[in-house]
Amino acid sequence: MSPELSEIYHRHAAAVFARQMRLQELVAQKTANFQLQPGTLSFGPGLTWRAQLLGTRAAKSNTWLWAWANTVSNLPPSLLTDALALKETGTRLGVPELRDPQWPMADDDAGHRLAIACAGLCNADAYYRGPLKDASLFLLIKDPAYPHRQDDPWRLLPFVFPQVVATYPVEDHRKAFLGYLETLGLQGRADGSDVDVLDGDRPRVRAGFDELNRLTKLETLKNP
């Protein structure tokens, strides 16, 4: 992963993790069905949403191919809007994984990390990985009808973030934490190795990090 993509991934990892938790809550073990026309991903009655294509990872060649670069599949242009926007972002910011049409991708874990960065940049409802013959398809769920759950950010923060660093390959916990605060609309203030999350001008949650920026504590302050 390039440093540029790593920066984007860390900034969005926690927020996308929370969205993936919501998707799992909605679909559980239901079987997915993606329809190229009209561009929907369905998990059964009442669980059908519009989707955008990102691309595929080929298992035999260990390569990623962006959907916009797949010229042989005759993909509907309406499903490539976000992928093309990501290409423009990659060109502007110098992110090779977003800019280059095809590049080496060792495994599906790298595909998940790319999809997390893309879901964050595109403000997608969630992302989905679907199996194909000798390949994996990654797409974004983007639908105004998607049933988001409205949660108190003060409840989400201590609940979600420890699960993020325990589940995702997050090398810089501090960077991911600050990115999540930004997504939640919360303000952080550095206090040595700690980061205080402010409610007005008072600290309400405190996160601690070691010299390698790994999370060592996350506590709600009783008397902020």
Please tell me the total count of domains within the chain.
2
Nearest-angstrom CA–CA distance, 54 and 52? 7
CA 14 to chain centre: 8
Whether residues 88 and 23 fall in one domain: yes
Q: Dihedral sign, CA of 152, 155, 158, 159? A: negative
Per the model's pLDDT, the better-predicted residue between 133 and 181 turns out to be 181
Whether residues 101 and 37 fall in one domain: yes
Whether residues 131 and 43 fall in one domain: yes
Domain of residue 40: give its range.
3-141
Nearest-angstrom CA–CA distance, 172 and 213? 6
Joined together, the tokens standing for residue 211 give 């010299």
Residue 166 contacts by C-beta under 8 Å, 6 or more apart in sequence? none
Per-residue pLDDT for 224 more than 70? no
Whether residues 120 and 12 fall in one domain: yes
Whether residues 55 and 23 fall in one domain: yes
Q: What is the pLDDT of residues 43-84, one digit of tens each?
A: 999 999 999 999 999 988 999 999 999 988 889 999 999 999
Whether residues 162 and 202 fall in one domain: yes
Q: Please provide the DSSP assignment of 54-85 as one string.
A: EEEEETTTTEEEEGGG-TTTT--GGGSHHHHH
Whether residues 31 and 57 fall in one domain: yes
Q: What is the pLDDT of residues 78-119, one digit of tens each?
A: 999 999 999 999 999 999 999 999 999 988 889 999 999 999
133 domain residue, yes or no: yes
Whether residues 50 and 127 fall in one domain: yes
184 domain residue, yes or no: yes
Whether residues 66 and 128 fall in one domain: yes
Please name the amino acid found at residue 111.
G
Whether residues 78 and 179 fall in one domain: no
pLDDT value at residue 197: 96
81 domain residue, yes or no: yes
Whether pTM exceeds 0.85: yes
Whether residues 108 and 192 fall in one domain: no
